[in-house]
Amino acid sequence: MRKMWIATLCLGLAINNLVSPARAQSTKNKQTKQVTCTGKVVDEQSRPIAGVKVTLYEMPYNEATYTYDSKLDSEADTGTDGVFSFSVSLDSDVYRYGYIVAQKEGMALGFDNWTMQDGDKELEIRLGKPKELAGTVVDENGMPVSDARVIISMLVIGQKEEQKSLTGLVNVKELVTYTDSAGRFKFTGIPAEAMAELLVKKTGRATVSTYQRSIYGDQRLKFTPGRTDIKIALPVEAKIEGIVVEKSTGKPVSGVKVMVRSDQDIVYFRQKPVASNPDGTFSISALTSDRYILELVRPVKELPDWVAEPVEVITESGKTQSGVKIELSKGGVLEVVVKDAVSKQPVEKASVGIQHDASGRYVSSQTDKDGVVRMLLMPGDYKEGNIYKQGYSHQRLQDAITIEDGKMEHREYELAGMPKITGIVRDEKGKPIKGAELEICPSGGREDATSDAEGKFEVIYDLYSSKNPVMFLVCRHEERNLAAAVQVDEDTRMSEFKLESAVMFTGKVVDPDGKGIANVQVRIMLQGPSWGSTIGRKPAITDKEGRYELKAIPIGHRYQVYAMADGYGENRSEKVSTEDAVNNHLDVGQLTLAAANLSVLGVVVDNNGKPVAGARVSCYGGDGQPRRDTQSDTEGKFTLERICAGRIRISADKSGATRLYGSIETEGGATNAKIVISESSSSTRYEPMRPTSLVGKPLPGLKEAGIDLPPADTDGKIILVCFFDMEQRPSRHCITQLAKQAEQLKGKGVTIVAVQASRMDQEALSQWRNKYSIPFPVGMVEDNAEKARSTWGIRSLPWLILTDSEHIVRTAGFQVNQLDEKIGEMANVER
């Protein structure tokens, strides 16, 4: 499973964060396999329960509207042994995810999750005594609202890796109820240890969700079973009314599907799209006071007829925002071809993403059976974001693309299968070890691996995550306190581990008064040359005195210890080395966590002092503060809760045609924080000036990049320059491909040079060059990387520049597999 420093808690958690890609397989040879989930339903004393109805629900995804649905897949009743089993047929390249729900009269609801791509699963669902969750729904005047539909939109048990979730979209009676004449509602079958969020609907009123999304993983759901005092205000609905027109003529267009979304959407309960009427008009109701984005629904399997810029609308309860106009354009087409890097065959169902430079808007689609995807886009400048398919390494790109009205832009890319390392784990006596846990650091593992009875293992990882040139394969056996960490690279395919006695860290987590804090999560971070990565699948938990033990820590490395707890801030130790351990034991000392019992209240305004609704407001640690985020309301006001005393930095930003940003420093407990956001240099986002092309101009001098070629290598020679970034896989691939062709190109009168496009450790660069036997000069940009990009016309990396024999640049920005073609074209022109 994917490593997460802090697990993201949102309704899409199970869909987005537990994806574990299968191994790469050719789309020409799709395989279908049977996967099985076997489980047991037990009571609180672990005794099997008979007669439990167990249901498997699947969650199909609609790519056009970014929404999910619920589909009943299978049902079973447990026998006297409490056992149930579900099997599904699984295509190798189709992602499928499900909820398993257990129901028995008089007992609390039970549930678990199954990511089917992970293969067979065994689980245990425990049913206990049910608890109530109750409250009242009122209108804007505090009067009861009857016959309102109340849904448990999110239900979660456990935390971090042990978390199980359920959505009210599944057809389970325990998750839906209605208010009575006094506005009261009550759920009766909720597990005592669960946490919940609610969604309330009624015709003529806004659909209200209690959930507030967090970009950080420390968010907890609001409601715990046993609460009967919940109060939810259901205001009169806000509406949006508008018209869809052709931009060039102003003529209304009918039948165009429009969807509405906000930052606080719960994806499972997002509003269904509406279609424009014969006169082009449309109406959207049941909205709250919020910032909404209107955009067109995109067909999944064919190009749409129209494209339009998203339209932002700020709504107010009880009011109709009319006169909204969506202007349609024919746009331009981006065509992307994706192939397998080894077989050169088309890759079907690869996700291709692209980002609009000005607005930051992200669009994605999937390739067809020919490995081709075409996207209709508004004219403008874009960056190719990433390409991904399960079983392949994630390809992250920064290719600059300009889309013009009525024109097609073409790109081709290759995807490489995710690398894997196989081997055997042995102890100090050479005996195989069962149950040793293995992972790639930094955070490159797509699957956790465990050695089998013969000590054998297989680790699959993603080079998109592990883009660092220095990676480690960490192997640990906590029970025997054995561990090792060995350096690997993307070419490592086999490794035999010999584990040795490891170090154990101990310490204590205390409050500001020095009193130990129980139930703190403590994790260990391995420190690399320029990164830190958590190791271990589960955190250590402090005892009632605040003490903890971290076992099986590999010798010969540096680490940090990190602690966080509900109701407190965060803290981490200084970097420590296992060399300081005595008898394989190191006391890390005390970590102090401040109580997070304050709030910060404030307002977000623009340069004119006008309140800004829908701005993202975040504080992000530092000085022991926790990470929190929220959103400003229609009056620009915000509240950040569970903040520690002391200094805190808070930022606010709002995306749109122009990104607005601002930040302040204040104190925990402040009630009048004011954040002014503007389009200014204070923004953390930097948009560089687009460089001018070098084509038709003399090649700039190479000496500033540390390359001084003798006349024999330049006079009358074609020069090929490759700017690259050693920490990016596409760049490394380009350089190694050029190395393989170096002798052939030399015979054609081509001199190759390569330049590392940003400053890095010279020794690391030299070691990498020597390891792969790069036969041509390799230099490095020593100073301003952005200045170098402008000088050399670089728009993305790797960037190839080809001159003629007079050293005039003839072409640039092409791909390495086009090199022979470009040299041939240049030769034809010279003839």
CATH number of the domain where residue 816 is located: 3.40.30.10
pLDDT at 419: 82
| Segment 394-414, tens digit of pLDDT | 777 777 889 999 999 999 998
Q: Which two tokens stand for residue 306?
A: 């129209």
What three-state secondary structure class fits 45? coil
* Statement to judge: residues 535 and 493 lie in one domain: no
Residue 722 has pLDDT above 90, yes or no: yes
> What phi and psi, each to the nearest 5 degrees, are found at residue 656?
175, -155
Q: How confident is the model at residue 96 (pLDDT cuts 50, 70, 90)?
A: confident
Please tell me the distance from the alpha carbon of residue 496 to that of residue 427, in angstroms, as a whole number.
11
Residue 684 lies in a domain: no
* Three-state secondary structure readout of 80-98: CCCEEEEEEEEECCCCCEE
In the chain, the number of structural domains is 7
Which tens digits make up the pLDDT trace of 679-709? 753 433 333 345 678 888 999 988 888 899 9
Q: What is the pLDDT of residues 467-501, one digit of tens each?
A: 556 788 999 999 999 999 988 876 778 878 899 99
- DSSP label at residue 506: E
Domain shared by 379 and 279, yes or no: no
**Quick one: 198 and 92 in the same domain?**
yes
Is residue 207's pLDDT more than 90?
Answer: yes
In a domain, 230, yes or no: no
Measured over the CA atoms of residue 429, residue 432, residue 436 and residue 438, the dihedral's sign is positive
Strands 362-366 and 97-103: unpaired
CA 497 to chain centre: 32
Q: Domain boundary residue among 275, 295, 328?
A: 328
- End-to-end Cα spacing for the chain: 58
C-alpha span between 500 and 684 (Å, rounded)? 45
Pair 150, 249 in one domain: no
Burial class (CB in 10 A: 0-12, 13-18, 19+), 539: buried
Give tens-digit pLDDT for 418-434: 888 899 999 999 999 99
- For residue 194, give the CATH number of its domain: 2.60.40.1120
The pLDDT of 543-550, averaged and rounded, is: 96
Handedness of CA 527, 533, 539, 545 (dihedral sign): positive
- pLDDT at 9 exceeding the cut of 90: no
In-domain check, residue 553? yes
**Residue 468 sits in the same domain as residue 512:** no
Q: What is the pLDDT of residues 19-67, one digit of tens each?
A: 323 333 333 345 577 889 999 999 989 999 999 999 999 987 776 666 7
Tens digits of residue pLDDT in 743-784: 999 999 999 999 998 888 788 888 889 888 999 999 998 777
- Calculate what percentage of the chain has a pLDDT beyond 90: 50
pLDDT at 567 over 90: no
Q: How many helices (DSSP H) and strands (DSSP E) are in the chain?
A: 6, 60
In terms of domains, do 487 and 512 share one? no
**Would 688 be classed as within a structural domain?**
no
Consecutive H or E run containing 289: none
Whether residue 222 lies inside any domain: the answer is no
pLDDT above 60: residue 825: yes
Q: Residue 658 pLDDT more than 60?
A: yes
Pairwise pLDDT comparison (619 vs 245), residue with the higher score? 245
Cα 338 from chain centroid (whole Å): 22
Does residue 698 lie in a domain region? no
The contacts of residue 491 (CB under 8 Å, 6+ apart) are none
Question: What pLDDT does 272 receive?
Answer: 86
Residues 53 and 200 in one domain: yes
For residues 520 and 655, state if they share a domain.
no
Q: Could you tell me if 488 and 417 are in contact, meaning their C-beta atoms sit under 8 angstroms apart? A: no
Inform me whether the pLDDT recorded for 464 exceeds 60: no
Q: Which residue has the higher pLDDT, 205 or 642?
A: 205
ω into residue 798 within 30 of 0, thus cis? yes
Report the alpha-carbon distance of residue 676 to residue 686 in Å, rounded: 19
Q: Given the structure tokens 């700039």, which residue do they identify?
A: 700
> pLDDT of 122-165, one tens digit each?
999 999 999 999 999 999 999 999 999 999 999 998 866 678 99
In this structure, the dihedral spanned by the alpha carbons of residues 819, 825, 827 and 828, taken in order and rounded to 10 degrees, is: 160
| CB neighbourhood size of 355 (10 A) | 17
At residue 4 the predicted structure's pLDDT band, cuts being 50, 70 and 90, is: very low
- Judge whether 8 lies within some domain: no
- pLDDT score for 267: 64
Percentage above 70 pLDDT, the chain:
88
Which of these ranges, 154-163, 245-254, 369-378, has the smallest mean pLDDT? Answer: 154-163
Residue 539 and residue 610 share a domain: no
Are 670 and 805 part of one and the same domain? no
User: Who contacts 496 (Cβ-Cβ below 8 Å, separation ≥6)?
Assistant: 423, 424, 426
| Helix, strand, coil percent content, the chain, rounded in steps of 5 | 10, 45, 45
Same domain, 442 and 513: no
Across the chain, mean pLDDT equals 85
The sheet carrying 437-441 orders its strands as 449-450, 437-441, 471-477, 482-488, 500-501
Residues 66 and 192 in one domain: yes
pLDDT of residue 159: 67
pLDDT over threshold 90, residue 308 = yes
* Cα–Cα separations (whole angstroms), residue 300 to 259, 329, 368: 15, 19, 10
406: containing domain: 332-415
Taking the CA atoms of residue 790, residue 796, residue 800 and residue 802 in that order, the dihedral angle to the nearest 10 degrees is -40
Question: Final residue of a domain: which of 500, 521, 543?
Answer: 500
The last residue of one of the domains, among 553, 583, 613, is 583
- With 60 as the cut, is the pLDDT of residue 10 above it? no
* Cβ pair 517, 546 in contact under 8 A: yes
For the residues of 266-283, what is the DSSP string, one character each? -GGGPPPPEE--TTSEEE
* Over residues 782-808, mean pLDDT: 84
* Residue 713 parent element (H or E): helix 711-714
Does residue 614 lie within any of the structural domains? yes
